[in-house]
Amino acid sequence: MTSTQFRALWLEFHERVRVERDQLNRLDAAIGDADHGTNLDRGLQKVAACAADTTDHLAATCRQVGTVLLSTVGGASGALWGSALLRAAGALPDSDTCDTAAALAALGQGVSAIQARGHAELGDKTMLDVWLPSLEDLDRRLSAGAACGEAVAATAGRAAVLAQDTAPLQARRGRAAYLGPRSVGHVDPGSVSTALFWQALATVLARS
């Protein structure tokens, strides 16, 4: 991945969140406070503006994205995305390009930060229900010899299914957990936005 692709990723992710903003808010209205789409859209709008303005290398850009998300998204997801990006930056080089192994390591570090900050586990009906199995899916495909772009595209498809698969789960973390059994039957909004991130990554990699 190059720093140009990395910046394009955030523009693409923002575009997808912008289009789906109302739907993400509707999902959050059912089991939360109806702000997930608005939260992410606001933060990513700022990220997109900053990304368009910088020529920094990968690690610095990733740190900047994390800082902006922490300060502008708000809600649980802002803290979680911000922590993820700040931790992921540590696995990225101070240069304009990184290999697949470094990109995978950065994704892994980001997900570890989400776990450390939010204390959620697989099955708790949070964005981790997409992040954890998606990362495993990508790792498996790459280990089996798939080309990076094809592997990410396939993982993005899987992520969309995983997001829908959160519906039957009962929430045990985040605002939705207050609903207890009443959270069952609704798709988790943070899982849907995470699937949008994977789709954005696949789109950016397919362009080059």
Contact partner at residue 76 from ligand ADP, Mg ion, none, CB < 5 to 8 Å by partner kind = ligand ADP
Closest CA to 138 of 107, 110, 116: 107
Q: How far is the CB of 36 from Mg ion (least distance, A)?
A: 5
- Alpha carbon of 4 to those of 9, 10, 51: distances in Å? 9, 10, 9
**Distance of closest approach, residue 28 Cβ to Mg ion, in angstroms:** 4
For the record, the structure tokens of 161 come out as 């299914």
Q: Which region, judged by CB under 5 A, interacts with Mg ion, from 35-43, 79-87, 99-107, 142-150?
A: 35-43
Q: Is 2 helix (H, G, I), strand (E, B) or coil?
A: strand
Per-residue x/- track, 30-49, ligand ADP (CB under 6 A): --xx-xx--x----------
CA distance 50 to 205: 21
Total Cβ atoms within 10 A of residue 81 = 30
Q: How far apart are CA 30 and CA 42, in angstroms?
A: 21
Residue 160 engages ligand ADP in binding (rule: CB under 6 A): no
Rounded to 10 deg, the angle between the 36-53 and 3-31 helix axes is: 170
Return the closest-CA partner of residue 166 out of 135, 131, 136, 116: 131
Interface residue with Mg ion among 14, 17, 32, 127 (CB under 5 A) is 32
Q: Residues 144-163, buried b or exposed e (16+ Cβ, 10 A)?
A: eebebeebbbebbebbbebb
List 109, 191, 199, 203, residue binding ligand ADP (CB under 6 A): 191
**129 φ, ψ (degrees, to nearest 5):** -70, -15
The correct pick among 127, 156, 169, 204 for binding ligand ADP (CB under 6 A) is 127
Per CB under 6 A, the segment of 14-22, 133-141, 178-186, 189-197 that binds ligand ADP is 189-197
Per CB under 5 A, does 41 bind Mg ion? Answer: no
Measured from the CB atom, the residue of 8 and 171 that comes closer to ligand ADP is 171
Contact window for Mg ion (CB under 5 A) among 32-40, 82-90, 139-147, 153-161: 32-40
Provide the binding-site residues for Mg ion, judged by CB under 5 A: 28, 32-33, 35-36
Chain residues in the site for ligand ADP (CB under 6 A)? 28, 32-33, 35-36, 39, 75-77, 80, 114, 118-120, 126-128, 173-175, 188-191
